[in-house]
Structure 1
Amino acid sequence: MIGSVRGTVIGTIRGDLLIETGGIGYRIAVTAQTMTRIADGQEVLLYTHEAVRETADDLFGFLEKDDLMCFELLLTVSGVGPKSALAVMNAVESATLRSAIARGDAKALSSAYGIGKKTAEKIVLELREKMVAPDKGTEPGIDHEVLEVLVGLGYSQKEARDAVRALPRSLVSPEEKIREAIKLASRTL
């Protein structure tokens, strides 16, 4: 699986970026916002999701890890494939997506091409507990990186927040915090 691609932008093909690295050109689907931030000849690092099907092997790329995380969370919703998830990411930024889902605002998501009212409502319903709203800075003492990892592993926001709040202050490295938070969250199950 290809997790990231670093290389030089050598052009576009039907709305996708063409990035050359090591003599190989990778065709990567990106959002319109990403396309406007990148110029031909520019060196770029894209965090990627590889979608393998019988008929195609597609790469979807993002400049920010958070955008990739949101994209992959959208893919967990039944009936939402990579192209629909990219359409949502094209219509709303990650922070807006998180806020809309936290508020239950399906209308904000239905503005995406190909996403109707029912699909938008399904996204909100299925991701409400999985996606952490962008409230960084509003709750002191919460390590949002650890919180997002726990939610990504399937813990509810409440379980994840409780585990992160219970972390000893002596833990410094993110790995230690995540390991301990998983232990704490597992005890509440």
Structure 2
Amino acid sequence: MITYIKGKLVEKSPTFLVVESGGIGYFINISLNTFDQIKDKENILVYTHLQIKEDSHTLYGFAQKSEREIFRLLISVSGIGSNIARTMLSSLSPVQIRDAIASADVAIIQGVKGIGAKTAQRVILDLKDKVLKIYNIDEVSPNSNNTNKEEALSALEVLGFTKRQSEKVVDRVLKQDTSLSVEDIIKQTLKNL
């Protein structure tokens, strides 16, 4: 098993990297989350997951071990393949996925393209106990984040920003950190508007 690759970044796109290590160029599939975190440095370290199938060997790369851990949990669910897991990690941060599973928030998981209600429910059913145990967390209230988001959007409207204009920036801010208070969401959003 290849646990990580450390080497020279040869090529970078939103869906893959090419990393040269020991004279070999590795084609590594990545999520948008990893793409955003990997800066255009010459030398990088990418945590990997090698998937071996009858007709292919596919390498997936992650900027952080926590993202790889969530990826491995997701692909353990029946009906969630590596491409859907990668799409989930491109749409949501590992923390958002973890919190959505822990709080049984079907709507957040179902919001990912290609995930229906049944699949979202299966992800929660299969992974909730594992996530609570692995991350040593108590059950999370599913709507605390949505309430903070709505309060922040209301406050931004009062400040003169349209809801449509603010919502994209608020979503981006929450994608980075789902535990922000209403005040912090507003501050971070104002910096990016």
TM-score by length of 2: 0.65
Residue 127 (structure 1) shift: 0.4
| Counterpart-to-counterpart distance in 2, 1:97 and 1:36 | 17
- In the TM superposition, what whole-angstrom CA distance separates every residue of 1:2-61 from its partner, at most 9, and x where no partner exists? 111111110146821111101111111111122133344521111111111122111111
Stretch of structure 1 that moved more, 8-17 or 81-90: 8-17
Go from structure 1 to structure 2 and tell me whether the alpha carbon gap of 1:90 and 1:13 turns closer, same or farther (over 3 Å shift).
Answer: closer
Provide the residue aligned with 2:65 in structure 1: 65
Provide the residue aligned with 1:144 in structure 2: none
CA contact 1:101–1:131 (8 Å) conserved in 2: yes
Amino acid at match of 1:70: I
2:134 to 135, 148, 160: 148
Provide the residue aligned with 2:87 in structure 1: 87
Provide the residue aligned with 2:125 in structure 1: 125
Amino acid at match of 2:3: G
Task: Indicate whether 1:51 and 2:51 are aligned.
Answer: yes
CA contact 2:75–2:85 (8 Å) conserved in 1: yes
Residue 75 (structure 1) shift: 1.3
| Counterpart-to-counterpart distance in 1, 2:117 and 2:37 | 30
Matched residue SS, 1:129: helix
| Counterpart-to-counterpart distance in 2, 1:96 and 1:13 | 23
Residue 96 (structure 1) shift: 1.0
Provide the residue aligned with 2:143 in structure 1: none
Aligned length: 138
Amino acid at match of 2:48: T
| Counterpart-to-counterpart distance in 1, 2:127 and 2:94 | 13
Select the structure that is richer in helix. Answer: 2
Q: Which runs of 5 or more structure 2 residues have no equivalent in the other structure?
A: 139-193
Matched residue SS, 1:112: coil
RMSD of aligned Cα (Å): 2.1
Structure 1 stretches of 4+ with a deviation exceeding 2 A read 12-15, 36-42
TM-score by length of 1: 0.66
Residue 74 (structure 1) shift: 0.7
Provide the residue aligned with 1:180 in structure 2: none
Provide the residue aligned with 2:106 in structure 1: 106
CA contact 1:10–1:40 (8 Å) conserved in 2: no
CA contact 2:14–2:31 (8 Å) conserved in 1: no
